[in-house]
Structure 1
Amino acid sequence: MVPLTAWSAYRPHDAATWLLEALPVLLGLPLVLWLWPRFAWTRLALWLMLAHSAILLIGAHYTYALTPPGFWLQDLLGLSRNPYDRLGHLAQGFVPAILAREVLLRQTPLRPGFWLGLLVTACCLAFSAFYELIEWWVALAIGADADAFLATQGDVWDTQWDMFLALTGALLAQLTLSRRHDRALAALAAPKMDHH
C-alpha cells in the first residue's frame, strides 16, 4: 500500500483534491494497524480494503473524472462520461458492506439473516449519504475549485447516482460474498493449532 500511496501522491493532477480523496486511506490504514491487536480483520476484509484503497488512490491521483481506466471504460462502452466515479461509489457500498458485516457479527449478538442484512445495508447508505454531505460542505467551503473533488461531470443527479450505486454495491457484496465471509470469520475464530 505504501508504494501505491507514494505514486498517488507524486505530482497528482490537483493537490487539494488528492488530499481530500486520499484522506480515507491516509486515516484508515493507520487506524487498522492501531486496532489490529484488538480487532484483526479477516483476510477477505483486508483484500477488499486493499482493493478499495487502490480505487481511491488512483482516483485521487488523476481526479475521478480524469482517470485513464475510466476513459478506457468510457470508450469501450460508448459512455458519455468517465465512469470511474461510478465505480468508486459502487465500491463505497461493496467494501463497507463486508466491513460492517464483520464488525456486527463479531461485536454484537446479530447473526446472519434478514436483520443483519438490513443493518449492513443501512450502514452503507448512511456512510454514502454522509460522504455526499462532506462533498457538499467542501463545495460550500472552496467554491468553484470543488469541481475536481465533486466529479459530477455535469450530471445533476450525480448525488443520487452515487448513493444508488453504494446501495447496489452493498447488496451485491452481501449476495456474492456472505458465505465466503462466514467461512473467513469461522477460520479467524478457530483456535490456532500448535505445531510443536
Structure 2
Amino acid sequence: MPMIRIHSIGTWQCLVVLGYLLLSGLQPHDRFTWVLEVSWVAVGLVIVTRLSLRGTSITPLLAWLLTLHAVILIYGGWHTYERVPLGEWMQSTFGWERNHYDRIGHFAQGFIPAVLIREVLLRHEVVHGRGWLEWIVFAGCMAFTGLFEILEFAAALSFGGASDAYLGSQGDIWDAQWDMVYCGMGTLFSIMIFRKMHRKQLASMKPVDAAM
C-alpha cells in the first residue's frame, strides 16, 4: 500500500470541516459556548495544515476519525450539548431524563484520540511492545479526559453562569465522572476494533523523523 499523505486524502476533508465550522458560526445557539467548544477544532485544523505543508503523513483511518470527531464537536457547539436535536430525539424516544449527546462526545473523546495516540507512538517508534502500547494509549486518553474536566472546572470558576452551557452537566452531580467513564469505554472499544486495521495501515508507512 502506498504512503498516504495528508494533502492527498485530507484536503477535501479539511475543507468540509472548515465549511461546517463556518456554517455553525453564523447563528450558534450561544456564541460564547460555541467559541469554547469549537476552539479544539480550530486548533486541530491549524495543526493538520502545518503537518500537510511539511509533508507529514497519516493513515486513512486516522484522517476519517479526526473528521468525524470534528463534526461531533462542531454539532455540539452549534446547538450546545444539552440542546442538540439528535440528543433531544434520543431523549424523547427512549424516555431519558436528559440530553445524552454529551455522552456521545465523551465516548468519541476516547474512541478517536486512542488511534491518534497509537499512531504517534508507533510512527515515532516510542513504544515497541504491543502490551505496553495499549496500556499507554488507554492511560493517555484517560489523562486527557481528566485534564479536560479540570479545564471545564476552571471555566466554571472563571466565567460563572456564562459557562453553564459549556459544562452541560444538566443537573447531574456525577457528570464529570460519567464523562470519564464514557471516554474510557470509547478508548477500550477503539483498541479492540481498530488495532489490527490500524497496524496494517501503519505497516506501509515510514517512521516519522523525531524533528517532525
Shorter-chain TM band: over 0.9
From 113, 138, 145, the counterpart of 1:121: 138
Match of 2:158 in 1: 141
Q: Are residues 188 and 75 of structure 1, via their aligned partners in 2, closer, same or farther at CA, if it must alter by over 3 Å?
A: farther
Q: Does residue 54 in structure 1 map to residue 71 in structure 2?
A: yes
Alpha-carbon distance in structure 2 between the residues aligned to 1:112 and 1:11 = 49
Alpha-carbon distance in structure 2 between the residues aligned to 1:188 and 1:106 = 8
Note the C-alpha offset of 1:73. Answer: 1.5
1:90 is aligned with what amino acid? F
Match of 2:118 in 1: 101
**What's the TM-score, normalizing by structure 1?**
0.93
- Please list the CA deviations of residues 24-73 of structure 1 after superposition, one character each: whole Å capped at 9, or x if unmatched: 10111111110232532111001000000000000000000000011112
Q: Does residue 17 in structure 1 map to residue 33 in structure 2?
A: yes
Q: CA RMSD in A?
A: 1.4
Match of 2:43 in 1: 27
From 139, 146, 151, the counterpart of 2:168: 151
Return 5+ residue gaps in structure 1 as ranges: 191-196
Match of 1:186 in 2: 203
From 86, 90, 93, the counterpart of 1:73: 90
Note the C-alpha offset of 1:112. Answer: 5.6
Note the C-alpha offset of 1:78. Answer: 2.0
Q: Are residues 97 and 35 of structure 1, via their aligned partners in 2, closer, same or farther at CA, if it must alter by over 3 Å?
A: same
Alpha-carbon distance in structure 2 between the residues aligned to 1:108 and 1:65 = 41
Match of 2:13 in 1: none
Alpha-carbon distance in structure 2 between the residues aligned to 1:77 and 1:177 = 30
Alpha-carbon distance in structure 1 between the residues aligned to 2:129 and 2:178 = 28
Note the C-alpha offset of 1:8. Answer: 1.2
**What's the TM-score, normalizing by structure 2?**
0.86
Q: Are residues 86 and 176 of structure 1, via their aligned partners in 2, closer, same or farther at CA, if it must alter by over 3 Å?
A: same
Alpha-carbon distance in structure 2 between the residues aligned to 1:85 and 1:121 = 20
Q: Does residue 43 in structure 1 map to residue 43 in structure 2?
A: no
Identity of aligned residues (%): 41
1:5 is aligned with what amino acid? L
Return 5+ residue gaps in structure 2 as ranges: 1-16, 208-212
Alpha-carbon distance in structure 2 between the residues aligned to 1:111 and 1:147 = 43
